[in-house]
Amino acid sequence: MAKVNVGIINVTGYIGMEVARLLYNHPKVKLATVTGRSAKGQKLGEFLPHLTGIDLTIEAELDKVDFAFSALPHGENVAPIVAALEKGAKAVDLSADFRLNDAAEYQKWYKITHSAPTYLKEAVYGLTELNREKIAKARLVANPGCYPTSAILAIAPALKEGLIEPDIIFDSKSGISGAGRTLTLNTHYAEANENVSVYALDGHRHLPEIVQELQKLAPKSKLSVTFLPHLIPMNRGILTSCYAILKAGKLAEGDKGKQQIAKLYRDFYRGEPFVKVVNVPPQTKQTLGSNLCLLYPTIDIRTNRLIVISCIDNLVKGGAGQAIQNMNLMLGFPETMGLDMLAVYP
């Protein structure tokens, strides 16, 4: 059987190059074209030596392919995605350009008028564990943001089962690669090293995405979501701590309640290849290079508060790996194909 021809728009960013790395050993696809305006005409393996096994020249525009990944900055993906769709390809957008269902909400948070709002209704939000059937039928998938992936997976079981009050707090720490390759003062080594900083206190662009998808799980609740991101001095990884008050009478008191919440989470994610409920609080390094999301749910008995710790690699489950997981579903391949690797530790 012939392999599916795949292209990557903007292979020179962290997410694009991670898609290329993960596709290298995928048995059912052929990486046929990669683009990168800053490196047009250069050999991929020379421009990015860690990808030296991929014999491709970086192009300015994407050739006709069966499947396209777009990893340009937000605001720049709409035109190439629409062009790929019109040529008969399926596509995953790794930016925020198709994640929000409402064009006005997109303009509010990204300060850009969406140039193809009709496609917002068609795009399926690509959090595989919650939207598997829709993704399998889609030709356009909006890959979730890294922070929303860690947050939504952490709180979804409790919210969907109606166990928590609608006031939810997400406290997230991310490695510096989450900011991309563009140089900024905040990600300069001397600024970020041996330092922890908070940002976007007035609202991060991933907040409306989190609220949008959580509201679908609890349509009758008026959610109040606080999301606070932090930058920490490591290359990659996200740890999100989630907090919510438990509704009275929903769970037993004491240690029995802790056992019930752990069972609820294990039952909710039973059979999921990339979400694992663990017995001790996870660490970011335990997900490094893998497509895993590790979750640890517990209860603060003193305050009757649910606490969930969530860990992912922001470039894999929070980006490229999840995109390939979505591609596998869209093309009818086994969901784990090309992604069943263990984390790199330590």
Tell me the DSSP string of 128-173.
Answer: HHHHHHHHHH-SEEEPPPHHHHHHHHHHHHHHHTT-EEEEEEEEEE
Q: In what order do the strands lie in the sheet with 4-9?
A: 58-59, 29-35, 4-9, 67-70, 90-93, 140-142, 124-125
In a 3-state reduction of DSSP, which class is residue 63? coil
> Which pLDDT does position 13 carry in this prediction?
96
Angle between helices 146-160 and 128-137 (to 10 degrees): 100
Active-site residue, from 146, 242, 293, 311 = 146
In Å, what is the CA distance from 162 to each residue of 158, 243, 278? Answer: 6, 15, 22
Confidence (pLDDT) at 98? 98
Q: What is the pLDDT of residue 135?
A: 98
Query: Splitting the chain (346 residues) into consecutive groups of 10 residues, what average pLDDT does each group show?
Result: 94 98 97 95 97 96 96 96 97 98 98 97 98 98 98 98 98 96 91 96 97 98 98 97 97 97 98 98 98 98 98 98 98 98 95
- Compute the half-sphere exposure of residue 212: CA atoms within 13 Å on the CB side of its CA: 20
Q: How many residues does the chain have?
A: 346
**Reported pTM:** 0.97
CA distance linking residue 207 with residue 240, whole number of Å = 14
Structure tokens at 164: 């928590």
pLDDT of residue 328: 98
pLDDT of residue 330: 98
Q: Return the residue matching tokens 């990486």.
A: 31
**Among this protein's residues, is 242 annotated catalytic?**
no
Parallel/antiparallel/unpaired status of strands 67-70 and 4-9: parallel
Q: Where are the alpha helices (DSSP H) in the chain?
A: 14-23, 44-47, 78-86, 103-110, 118-122, 128-137, 146-160, 189-192, 207-217, 255-268, 321-331
Structural domains of the chain ordered from first start:
4-122 (3.40.50.720), 147-314 (3.30.360.10)
Tokens for 334, please give them.
Answer: 């086994």
